[in-house]
């Protein structure tokens, strides 16, 4: 598991980076945009309000009181004295030197505020504003200066200023609220993604550990499946793979043991009879014929087994090929039937053939040797596994666009539980008959390469039946 941990951490890190990272960036952008919007809304509204007051007051003074300086100063003093918003806004009148002449806070008269909008307003002759710390007190203020004009010349300024403490507090509160909401959203996204990725990482780690154990030889292990989604499907597939590998390993082990035994049996008989005949100095022809017959029979069985193994080897490494040509399927099948009929008779088994008449004159394209190998293997298999029935029937018919060959024995049949596996490589099931367990697998491979179908089942009335369907080609 130690080797799997960096992989899991890497998966979690990549997931968080790719899924949560963009969300965090988007939320930060939203926070910046919201902060800009709040700032411009609150400070912009306050600035617009002060600018409107300053412009309206300056227009009034420029229009009605700029007849003489004494009248201007008197009106300014009255205006300051009657200003009804002095609790939140300070109103000042400044001269061209930027010094306060009169103010709603009288103790500031004669001082110079020193904020930059004053010089700009005097120089440009237009309304200007300032937002920042007051040079005298350090308090954050907002100030708006509007020029007062007499005979086309700027002779002073009307200046409104107010503390931004309340606005700053509101902006901070709103900013904190937005920040808290964004942090909450980010935390929610992170936590939900961590919960999700942990639910993915845990089964992935289990699957990874199981895969390592399987690769290490622990075939057949099963992962507890507590999931009902794609992870659950993956766990089911891993469990199925593990089980099948275990079964395959068991079958191959049994195959090696079985083949070793099957090879040893004919070799023992051949060696035994060879030594017997060699040591027998008598001229008993019956004994000699019997010994030679057994040697030939066991040699034939050994040859067939070796050929099956060679065919299987070719199937495994891709050297299994066909030599196709136009062929008479009926002739090849009948040749196999007649060849085995006499052999079966000697063993007390009757082989019956239903030829169906000469209706198979339309040739097919195939490999005669390979198809005859299939027929011989199936007939031999019927004798080995169903010979107790002492009867085998073989037939060939045409059904639609297929030639159909059926070979049936009248033995005990195949147990229903074993039917799905009888064509698998190495599988022998409960049968005690000799063989490598790969003959039927080779047969199915040959038939499938002819675009045919190879089926095995139990016949009504007992016994097993093999059905071979091969397409007719014009």
CB neighbour class for 154 (10 Å; exposed up to 12, middle 13-18, buried from 19): middle
Q: Determine the pLDDT at residue 146.
A: 93
Residues 384 and 391 sit within 8 Å (Cβ to Cβ): no
Q: Tell me the Ramachandran region of residue 98: left when phi exceeds 0, alpha when psi lies from -120 to 50, beta otherwise.
A: left
Residues 6+ apart with CB under 8 A from 38: 171, 174, 175, 178
Cα separation of 125 and 25, whole Å? Answer: 45
Q: Determine the pLDDT at residue 6.
A: 45
Domains in the chain, please, with CATH? 4-169 (3.30.450.20), 247-317 (1.10.287.130), 325-471 (3.30.565.10)
Any bridge partners for residue 145, and if so which? 128, 159
Q: Determine the pLDDT at residue 298.
A: 74
Any bridge partners for residue 396, and if so which? 405
Token duo for residue 56: 């309206």
Residues 252 and 263 sit within 8 Å (Cβ to Cβ): no
Token duo for residue 302: 């050994």
CB neighbour class for 444 (10 Å; exposed up to 12, middle 13-18, buried from 19): buried
Q: Tokens 């159909």: give the residue.
A: 404
H helices, E strands: number in the chain: 10, 12
Q: Determine the pLDDT at residue 130.
A: 94
Q: What is the dihedral of CA 447, 368, 349, 396, to 10 degrees?
A: 70
Ranges in the chain, pLDDT < 70: 1-11, 107, 251-252, 254-265, 281-284, 304-305, 308, 311-320, 356-361, 387, 425-437, 474
Neighbours of 155 (CB within 10 A): 16
Residues 161 and 90 sit within 8 Å (Cβ to Cβ): yes
Angle value at C-alpha 184, between 178 and 185, nearest 5 degrees: 90
Q: Tell me the Ramachandran region of residue 125: left when phi exceeds 0, alpha when psi lies from -120 to 50, beta otherwise.
A: left
Residues 6+ apart with CB under 8 A from 77: 102
pTM score: 0.45
Q: Cα-flanking dihedrals φ and ψ of residue 298, to 5°?
A: -70, -35
Q: Determine the pLDDT at residue 405.
A: 93
Cα separation of 208 and 150, whole Å? Answer: 89
**Residues 240, 245, 248, 253, CA torsion sign:** negative
Q: Determine the pLDDT at residue 129.
A: 93
The pLDDT tens digits of the residues spanning 425-472 come to 666 665 655 555 677 888 888 899 899 999 999 988 888 999 999 998
Of 422, 424, 427, nearest to 458 by C-alpha is 422
The pLDDT tens digits of the residues spanning 332-384 come to 899 889 888 888 888 889 999 987 665 556 778 888 888 988 898 899 888 88
Cα separation of 298 and 304, whole Å? Answer: 10
CB neighbour class for 358 (10 Å; exposed up to 12, middle 13-18, buried from 19): exposed
Cα separation of 339 and 343, whole Å? Answer: 7
What 3-state class would DSSP assign to 390? Answer: coil
Q: Determine the pLDDT at residue 431.
A: 63
**Residues 132, 138, 140, 145, CA torsion sign:** negative
What 3-state class would DSSP assign to 381? Answer: helix
Name the helix (H) or strand (E) containing 65: none
């Amino acid at each position: 598991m130690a080797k799997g941990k960096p992989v899991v951490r890497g998966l979690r890190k990549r997931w968080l980076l790719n899924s949560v990272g963009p969300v965090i960036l988007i939320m930060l952008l939203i926070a910046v945009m919201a902060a800009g919007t709040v700032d411009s809304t609150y400070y912009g509204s306050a600035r617009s309000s002060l600018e409107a007051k300053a412009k309206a007051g300056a227009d009034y003074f420029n229009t009605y009181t700029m007849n003489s300086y004494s009248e201007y100063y008197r009106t300014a003093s009255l205006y300051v004295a009657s200003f009804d918003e002095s609790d939140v806004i300070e109103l000042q009148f400044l001269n061209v030197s930027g010094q306060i002449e009169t103010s709603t806070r009288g103790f500031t008269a004669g001082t110079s505020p020193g904020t930059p909008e004053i010089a700009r307003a005097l120089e440009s002759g237009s309304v200007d504003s300032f937002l920042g710390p007051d040079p005298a007190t350090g308090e954050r203020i907002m100030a708006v200066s509007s020029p007062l004009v007499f005979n086309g010349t700027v002779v002073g300024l009307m200046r409104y200023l107010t503390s931004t403490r309340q606005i700053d507090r509101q902006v901070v509160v709103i900013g904190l609220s937005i920040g808290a909401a964004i942090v909450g959203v980010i935390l929610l996204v992170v936590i939900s993604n961590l919960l999700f990725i942990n639910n993915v990482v845990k089964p992935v780690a289990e699957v990874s550990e199981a895969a390592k154990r399987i690769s290490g030889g622990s075939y057949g292990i099963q992962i507890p499946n507590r999931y009902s989604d794609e992870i659950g499907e993956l766990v089911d597939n891993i469990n199925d793979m593990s089980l099948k590998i275990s079964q395959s390993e068991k079958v191959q082990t049994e195959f090696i043991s079985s083949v070793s035994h099957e090879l040893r049996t004919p070799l023992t008989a051949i060696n035994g009879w060879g030594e017997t005949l060699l040591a027998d100095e008598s001229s008993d022809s019956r004994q000699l014929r019997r010994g030679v017959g057994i040697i030939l029979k066991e040699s034939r069985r050994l040859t067939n087994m070796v050929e099956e193994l060679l065919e299987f080897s070719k199937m495994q490494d891709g050297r299994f090929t066909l030599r196709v040509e136009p062929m008479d399927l009926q002739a090849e099948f009948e040749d196999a039937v007649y060849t085995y009929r006499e052999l079966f008779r000697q063993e007390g088994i009757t082989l019956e053939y239903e030829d169906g008449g000469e209706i198979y004159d339309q040739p097919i394209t195939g490999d005669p040797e390979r198809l005859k190998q299939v027929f011989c293997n199936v007939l031999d298999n019927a004798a080995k596994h169903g010979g107790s029935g002492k009867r085998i029937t073989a037939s060939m018919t045409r059904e639609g666009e297929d030639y159909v060959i059926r070979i049936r024995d009248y033995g005990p049949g195949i147990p229903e539980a074993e039917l799905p596996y009888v064509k698998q490589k190495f599988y022998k099931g409960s049968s005690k008959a000799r063989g490598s367990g790969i003959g039927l697998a080779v047969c199915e491979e040959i038939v499938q390469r002819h675009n045919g179908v190879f089926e095995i089942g139990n016949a009504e009335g007992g016994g097993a039946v093999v059905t071979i369907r091969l397409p007719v080609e014009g």
